[in-house]
Structure 1
Amino acid sequence: MEVKTYQDPQVYYEKVESLLMEEEALNNLPLGIAERLRSQPAKADLITLENGEEVVYTLIHTMRNQWVLPACDADDSVFQTAADFLFYNDYPVGGVVGEKKGATKLIHAYTKRSKRNNRVHMNQYVYRLDALQPINLGKGKLKVAGIAEKGLIASWLYNFGVETGELSIKDDADVLAERMVTAGTMHLWVVDNEPVSMVNQSRNTRNGATVNAVYTPDRHKEKGYATSAVWSLTKKLLDHGFQFCSLYTDADNPASNSIYKKIGYFPIGESVVYRFHTEL
């Protein structure tokens, strides 16, 4: 087994595409990041484990984020090899996110090698939707967020990062708001000309689109606004030709999970986020 690193995002994408497309919806995160890096090159660590010409595993690390792992079958030796490569080559490992079984094997191998403590930051479900279920939309309408709402989006992203413990979102709220508004991906649910909830069209894969950053301020919660916003954006994406939509949820948040199931999303797998902290 050979470990390879790639500098060219296009070459990397061509190497890993067939592996990741075996489970396109489950691999929406690594596929979406790899796709984005092709069109918007940025500093990233792109690693594959290969048997001959066959890619059997891959890891992606963009700056200030955790390592992103795929959903694919792999022998235990693959996870040990990957962990050893990260450790002995002094790669920064603040955490990992990926399909639960594989991510757990990798984190255990790396923890044993590095003698560092890890913790589960979040257990997640990966959801997929192929067809919307009809619902009674609440009052209001969906609109694409504009420049005038950039400050509001930044403040909501900051609060979203605090609530979910995603420090990179909290710390980069202004940058993310600028990017989302400029790209036209951030949407607001508006009632009587007042934004009351937000939802973002995130990364795309060949056949699907991902929804994220679903947030409603406390004073507007429990009014069905998030449900209406997610339903409406999902419909927009399907109407634009995507075959399916996907999203991640906090497995320990029954309220959000019930919202997505009501709309027509169904769980297709489990993911987990591990974080490292103090040395042993």
Structure 2
Amino acid sequence: MDIIEYDSSDSFLQRAAPVLARNEAFTGLIYGVADRIGRISDPDEEVEPPFLASVEQNGDVLLIAVMTPPHRLILHAREDTPDADALRALVSHLRASSRSTPGVLGPRPLSESFADTWTRLSGQQIGQGLAMTVYELRKLHPHDGAPGVFRHATDADRELLQTWSDAFHLEVHGHPAVGQEVRAVSRRLPNGNYRIWEDGGRPVSFAARSRPTPTGLAINAVYTPAEFRGHGYATSCVAALCDEILTSGRQFCTLFADVENPTSNSIYQRLGFLALGEFVEFDFE
């Protein structure tokens, strides 16, 4: 079993792309993270160099791994049933390299298998984090629009976006962002990635474009403050952003939704999003 580390996102994606392309929407997180490593350097986040690797046997890629410390390891396996030897080899490699590995994120069977292997070989305990449904949309369904207009965010919205992004992070993850979302807004806003739904001249909801893949684009950070909920603002904001993405020539858009949030899941399903599978987080304690 061979562990191959890559010193650039270009060389990593050249090797990983044929495997990732088999289900581009489902593997878009790895595409997006690797692409960002190649384009953006954020000294505030870079605790140690990123980890880009493939686990191979006889020249066949069995497992793909990406990690940007202090964030979790992200995994994708070529087969639905993870290769136990490949998982053991990757865990042993990470431990031998003394890399900080705070947790894992990936398709449920793979993430569970890696976490179990990590626990057996390290003795560390694990705690489960979020479980998320991965959705894909290729054709937008008609919907009842909310009052208001869809617009691009501008620099005048920076403070609002930072406040709402912090609130979104706290609501989803249960702990403060500690500057993470402020940096994300500073990075994404100049690139025109935020959209706002405005009603009566007042911003009431927002969403962001993220993680381009060869033929698709992700939507993330969909948020409506509590006082504006129940009016369909998020539905209309996401629908307008999906329409923009598909009209631009992208073949699909994708997003993640907390499996325990029935409201967001029902919104996405009504718009035409189809579930591709489930990702789950595990933290090593």
Tell me the TM-score normalized by structure 1.
0.95
The aligned runs of 1:35-50 (5 Å cut-off) are: 35-40=35-40, 43-50=49-56
Deviation of residue 182 (structure 1)? 0.9
Q: State the match for 2:75 in structure 1.
A: 69
Deviating runs (4+, > 4 A) in structure 1? 166-170
Aligned mates of 1:82, 1:177 — CA distance in 2: 34
Are 2:134 and 2:277, in contact at CA under 8 Å, matched by a contact in 1?
A: yes
> Which amino acid counterpart does residue 158 of structure 2 have in structure 1?
K
Q: Do the aligned partners of 1:65 and 1:168 also contact (CA within 8 Å) in 2?
A: no
Instruction: Check conservation: 1:26, 1:71, Cα contact below 8 A.
Output: no
Q: Aligned pair 1:31/2:39, yes or no?
A: no
Cα distance between partner residues in 1 of 2:92 and 2:279 = 22
Letter in 1 for 2:136: R
Look up the SS of the partner of 1:123 in the other structure.
Answer: strand
Amino acid at match of 1:57: L
Equivalent of residue 98 in structure 1, options 106, 110, 125? 106
CA separation of 1:168 and 1:274: change in aligned 2, threshold 3 A: farther
Match for residue 89 of structure 1? 97
1:276 aligns with 2:273: no
The unaligned stretches of length 5 or more in structure 1 are: none
Partner residue of 1:195 out of 192, 203, 217: 203
Deviation of the 1:169 alpha carbon: 4.3
Assess if the C-alpha contact under 8 Å between 2:62 and 2:77 holds in 1. no
- Computed over aligned residues only, the root mean square deviation of the Cα atoms, in angstroms, reads 1.5
- Structure 2 length-normalised TM: 0.93
Q: 1:227 to 1:71 in 2, by over 3 A?
A: farther
- Give the whole-Å Cα distance in 2 for the aligned partners of 1:253 and 1:167: 17
Query: Which structure 2 residues correspond to residues 1-280 of structure 1 after superposition, within 5 A?
Result: 1-40=1-40, 43-73=49-79, 74-165=82-173, 169-277=177-285
- Aligned residues of 1:20 and 1:27 also touching (Cα < 8 A): yes
Cα 1:240–1:264 change in 2 (3 A) is same
Q: Give the distance between the partners of 1:3 and 1:276, measured in 2 at CA.
A: 22
CA contact (8 A) 1:120 1:275 kept: yes
Task: Give the Cα–Cα distance (whole angstroms) in 1 for the partners of residues 124 and 245 of structure 2.
Answer: 42
Q: Distance in 1 between matches of 2:178 and 2:137?
A: 28
Aligned residue pair count: 277
> Which stretch has the larger CA shift, 184-193 or 67-76?
67-76
Q: Distance in 1 between matches of 2:87 and 2:174?
A: 26
Distance in 2, matches of 1:56 and 1:40, equals 28
Q: Given that residues 170 and 176 in structure 2 are in contact (C-alpha distance below 8 angstroms), is that contact kept between their aligned partners in structure 1?
A: no
How far apart in 2 are the matches of 1:133 and 1:71?
32
Distance 1:27 1:76, change over 3 A: same
Code of the aligned partner of 1:152: L
Q: Percent identity?
A: 27
Amino acid at match of 1:12: F
Distance in 1, Cα, partners of 2:77 & 2:240:
29
Q: Distance in 2 between matches of 1:217 and 1:77?
A: 46
Q: Deviations over 1:223-277 (max 9, x none)?
A: 1111010000000000000101111010111111000001000101111011122
2:21 alignment partner AA: M
Alpha-carbon deviations, 1:107-156, whole Å to 9, x = none?
A: 11001111111111111110011100001111111111110100110011
Q: CA deviation at 1:52?
A: 3.2
Are the structure 2 counterparts of residues 96 and 166 from structure 1 closer, same or farther at C-alpha, using a change threshold of 3 Å? farther
CA distance in 1, matches of 2:131, 2:78: 18
